[in-house]
Amino acid sequence: MNSTKLLVINYAMDEENQVFSHQIELVNQLAIHFDSVTVLTGQKGICRVPNNVQVINFEWLAGKKVSSLLRFLGKFLQTIRNDRFTVLFSHMTSTHSFFISPVTKLLRLKHYLWYAHASNGLHLRVTRLLTNGIITSTPGSCPLAGEKIYPIGQSIDKNKFEKRQLLNYPIKNFVHIGRLDPSKNIDLIIKSVELYRKTYPELTLEIVGSPSSDLHKNYAQDLKAKFSLTPYNVWLKFTPYVQRENLPKLLRSKDGFIHSFQGSLDKTLVEATFSGLPTITINTEYLNFFGSWSASNNSDDLTLDSETLALLKLSKSDINLEVERRYELAVAKHELDGWVDRLVKILKS
């Protein structure tokens, strides 16, 4: 039987990376299904991988895109010259896929891209044309549809993000976890909790996360300066990025999760759902799949305020039923083992 060799391209193999730490978990899961895995990564830090995984760092440097891209292309060409791979999987690296897709097309090397963003540029359309397909989480998480688009859900380990046994009621302590970037609409989250503190004065909110890059540091600083003074500091807390391994414990210590990012299905939403937290969001992809608290049939009519109020007004039994329903849906469509099986089936097709 021929050996199966997988080439993975990703941004980081680093357990301490705020955005991409989960990429190590994915590589380790894929290593179970392939004889060998070679990873070309832009950042290598602490990463524990099995013996059949080799990690090569092409050192992608922020602010030095041209030199970083040239360095990546050199490493890529060297790697495919030295070994014959069964398939290439580009994980969240659309720019890299665009530049190497003519090469993989010419060499007839199977090439798939994981893409879960709203933006639809020329790069993405060319990549679809020259590769075997684009894999995404949900149909609405990729701006392209139709041929060669494969929605397979999110990849959450239910053994790590373990569901809490008891619901904390009444709901008092909300948390938001994510990058401290403008797209996350943090101010909208704060204002929604502030609005209902007039009726529910015991409500608190913890914002957990750091800016994803130097470009967003001013936004984060301005946000903290605006909302860290009295009376906000009585009920509002900002906490820097928490390592991924500590997220399940943090989620289980809270009563509810609140979120306001629009676009693709945010991974943190599904992690909160796995953890058994009542989850408030205006994210269309989440609402389309899991439903809303206000039971509206039109997600365009929903606001963060209306969803927050609808949850706070529900009885404990009604919340429990909805949390359990969403959890079962999450396990069926977004659990890690099933996700990997669906991914491997595509990669080996």
Residue 14 CB contacts under 8 Å (≥ 6 apart), including other chains: 20, 21, 24, 43, 44, 45, 46, 47
User: What pLDDT does residue 1 have?
Assistant: 56
Residue 215 CB contacts under 8 Å (≥ 6 apart), including other chains: none
Cis peptide before 182 (omega within 30 of 0): no
d(CA 349, CA 80): 21
At 6, is the secondary structure helix, strand, or coil? strand
User: What pLDDT does residue 299 have?
Assistant: 57
Classify 210 in phi/psi space as left (phi over 0), alpha (psi -120 to 50) or beta: beta
The 10s digit of each residue's pLDDT in 169-188 is 999 999 999 999 999 999 99
Q: Are 44 and 74 in contact (CB under 8 A)?
A: no
Query: What CATH number is given for 5-151 in this structure?
Result: 3.40.50.2000
Q: Which fold has domain 173-333?
A: Rossmann fold (3.40.50)
At 74, is the secondary structure helix, strand, or coil? helix
Q: Note down pLDDT in tens along the chain; length 349 residues.
A: 578 999 999 999 998 888 888 999 999 999 999 999 999 999 999 999 999 999 999 999 988 989 999 999 999 999 999 999 999 999 999 999 999 999 999 999 999 999 998 777 788 999 999 999 999 999 989 999 989 999 999 999 999 999 998 999 999 999 999 999 999 999 999 999 999 999 999 999 999 999 988 888 999 999 999 998 889 999 999 999 999 899 999 999 999 999 999 988 999 999 999 999 999 999 999 999 999 998 765 556 789 999 999 999 999 999 999 999 999 999 999 999 999 999 999 999 8
Q: Are 344 and 154 in contact (CB under 8 A)?
A: no
Residue 324 neighbours by CB distance under 10 Å: 13
Largest CA distance in the chain: 68
Two structure tokens written together for 132: 């075997």
The 10s digit of each residue's pLDDT in 2-54 is 789 999 999 999 988 888 889 999 999 999 999 999 999 999 999 999 999 99
Q: Do domains 5-151 and 173-333 have the same CATH topology?
A: yes
Per-domain boundaries in the chain: 5-151, 173-333
Q: Which among 151, 116, 111 is positioned nearest to 131, based on CA atoms?
A: 111
H/E run at residue 28: helix 22-30
106 φ, ψ to 5°?
A: -65, -40
User: What pLDDT does residue 124 have?
Assistant: 92
User: What pLDDT does residue 229 have?
Assistant: 87
User: What pLDDT does residue 322 have?
Assistant: 97
At 335, is the secondary structure helix, strand, or coil? strand
Q: Are 319 and 280 in contact (CB under 8 A)?
A: no
User: What pLDDT does residue 182 have?
Assistant: 93
Q: Are 224 and 193 in contact (CB under 8 A)?
A: no
